[in-house]
Structures are given as structure tokens and as C-alpha cells.
Amino acid sequence: MPIDHVLKLYSESFRSPYLHYGFWDEPDKVNIDTLTLNDMVAAQQRYIEHLASFIPEDVNNILDVGAGIGGNSSFLLSKGFSVEALSPDDYQEKVFAEKYNGEVPFYRTKFEDFKPQKQYDLVLESESACYIQIEPGWQVAQKTIRKGGYLLASDYFLHHNDGSGDWHIKASHDEKTYLEKAKEYGFELIREYDQTDNTMPTLDGAKAFMDRFIFPTVEFSSNYLDKNHPLVLKVLKKAFGKKLESKINQFSLLESSDFKKYKRYMIYLFKKI
Ligand SMILES: C[S@@+](CC[C@H](N)C(=O)[O-])C[C@H]1O[C@@H](n2cnc3c(N)ncnc32)[C@H](O)[C@@H]1O
């Protein structure tokens, strides 16, 4: 399976072992203008602490599905859980091999294609549920989790679709369908928590960063080329203009007000009955 270069870019630029949004205890008190990368990484650490508080007492072994670059797995190991990890990504497999030297078995596969050799007390899907096709995902969860075991999902779900084709709509599962399918495959929702407000400062911070550094740099480079190498600019625009426009449109994903219009960032704890 190829490498997800966007996730690789996050991991290399943030230098954090996490690839999720982070959790802000007091989102109203966060000053976006003074936010640092360290604050973001601290919020990511807080996210897994908060998420782990949803793990029931009778859980010993966990399959970390869509494990990223191992931050959550490390946290869970440090809390005494036995952890195995899964992701389809070649780069992430390499990171796990270097980090854990076999201590955390790693399955390089999509969850939908996973053939479990045993059953787990809990499957964790931390910001990976939206990558996994809903129905095949629940089918495999049914085989992977023991009777009375759990699936803990923390991810954003679509609560409103106005048919506009907005980027926010494209990149997430419909919440109602996800919950209906859970029931159909024998999973009862036993706890839920809406962490939308607790996650939004990360988007606001990323947008502020883009506005301050990236967009002015792009504008500067374009002006420079226009003045000094107009032919080069023309060729670049012809070659990449459309692609660039589509990429820039994707930055609308950083608008927290649009996020909230369409999505909710939920924690769902399901029990297999
Ligand atoms: C946003 S990252 C979250 C990483 C990590 N769970 C965390 O919280 O930091 C999404 C993860 O899901 C993985 N993923 C993508 N498609 C998947 C699939 N079909 N099955 C399982 N994992 C998948 C990605 O490779 C990545 O590891």
C-alpha cells in the first residue's frame, strides 16, 4: 500500500508522534494569535489521555487501528495495555518497526481486509474511522472483537449535508448511517461525547499559520517570478494552475465555522453484544 504523503508531511513538520487534532480542555480561553507548535503537541497528548479515559476496566488488549506513527500505541503501552497496531501505510509500518522493534506487532493492511488471528478486548479507531468503509469496517470489527468487547471510535462525522459538495462533506462518514450500521452488526452504543469544541483550536491555529506564513510566501514568490521570470510563471500556471487552485480550495477544511456547520467530532464507545 502506498504512503499517505499528507500524513507523512504532518508527522515531519509537527514532529509529534500523533496525527490527530488534539484536545483543548478550555477552548474558549485559547489565544490563537499566541499558539505555538508545542501547545498543539501538548493538546495532542491531552487528546489520547482524555480518549483513554473511555476505555472500560475489563480491557487488557487493544488493537490500534489506523495507528499512524505510534503516539497512541505508546501511551496505551505506558498504561499497561497489551497493544497491537494496524495501518495500510508503508511509511507507518517502518516507523513502528524502528520504534518498537517487534514489541507492538504491526499488520500492514486496510482494516476492511484484516484477517484477525485472535480476538481483542477493544479496537481503537482514533481519527481513522473516517478512512474505513462503513459496512466492511463493521463486518471486520465483528470478527476482530470478542463478545462483550468494545470499539472506541474518535472521529468527525457528517451531521448535515446540504448537497453543496463542500470539502467537509467529502471527507467524512454520515453519522446516522455509521450508527445504524453499528447496530445492524451487533454493536450497542454505550457512551458518547461531543468533543467538537475541544478540537477546533487546532483548526483555527493551522489557519492562522497559513494566513501568516504560507499565503504571503506564495504571493511573494508569484510576484517575484512575475517581475523577474514571467515566462517561468506562465509555464508553471499552465502546468499546475488548476491543481493548485483545487489544493487551495481544500484549505477551506481549516475553517472551523464550516467544520461545525457540517460535522461533529465525536467519541463513541460501542459494546459488542
Ligand atoms: C489521521 S491518521 C490517525 C493516526 C492515529 N490513530 C492518531 O490518532 O494519531 C489516520 C490513520 O488511518 C490509517 N488508515 C487509512 N486508511 C485506513 C484503512 N482503510 N484501514 C485502517 N487504517 C487506515 C492511516 O494510514 C493513518 O494511520
Confirm if 182 and 263 have CB atoms less than 8 A apart. Answer: no
Least confident of 11-15, 140-144, 236-240: 11-15
Atom index in ligand 1 nearest the CA of residue 154 equals: 8
Residue 10 has pLDDT above 70, yes or no: no
Per-chain mean pLDDT for the chain:
90
50 pLDDT band, cuts 50/70/90, is very high
pLDDT in tens, 102-126: 899 999 999 999 999 999 999 999 9
pLDDT in tens, 255-265: 899 899 999 99
Atom index in ligand 1 nearest the CA of residue 133 equals: 19
From the CB of 225, is ligand 1 less than 6 Å away? no
pLDDT in tens, 134-180: 999 999 999 999 999 999 999 999 999 998 888 888 878 999 999 99
Closest residue by CA, ligand 1 atom 18: 110
For residue 272, report the phi and psi dihedrals to the nearest 5 degrees: -80, 120
133 and 215 fall within a common domain: no
Boundaries of domain holding 23:
5-199+259-272
From the CB of 172, is ligand 1 less than 6 Å away? no
The CA-CA-CA angle for residues 30, 126, 261, to 5°, reads 55
Structural domain count of the chain: 2
Closest residue by CA, ligand 1 atom 11: 66
From the CB of 152, is ligand 1 less than 6 Å away? no
231 and 165 fall within a common domain: no
Confirm if 75 and 14 have CB atoms less than 8 A apart. Answer: no
129 and 187 fall within a common domain: yes
136 and 228 fall within a common domain: no
**Spatial distance between the Cα atoms of 203 and 156, rounded to a whole number of angstroms:** 13
101 and 206 fall within a common domain: no
From the CB of 174, is ligand 1 less than 6 Å away? no
102 and 215 fall within a common domain: no
70 and 95 fall within a common domain: yes
pTM of the model: 0.88
pLDDT of 5 reads 63
Query: Averaged over 55-82, what is the pLDDT?
Result: 97
72 and 131 fall within a common domain: yes
From the CB of 126, is ligand 1 less than 6 Å away? yes
231 and 212 fall within a common domain: yes
9 pLDDT band, cuts 50/70/90, is low
Could you tell me the CA-to-CA distances from 256 to 51, 59, 68, 170 in Å, in that order? 21, 35, 24, 16
Distance between Cα 19 and ligand 1 center (Å): 8
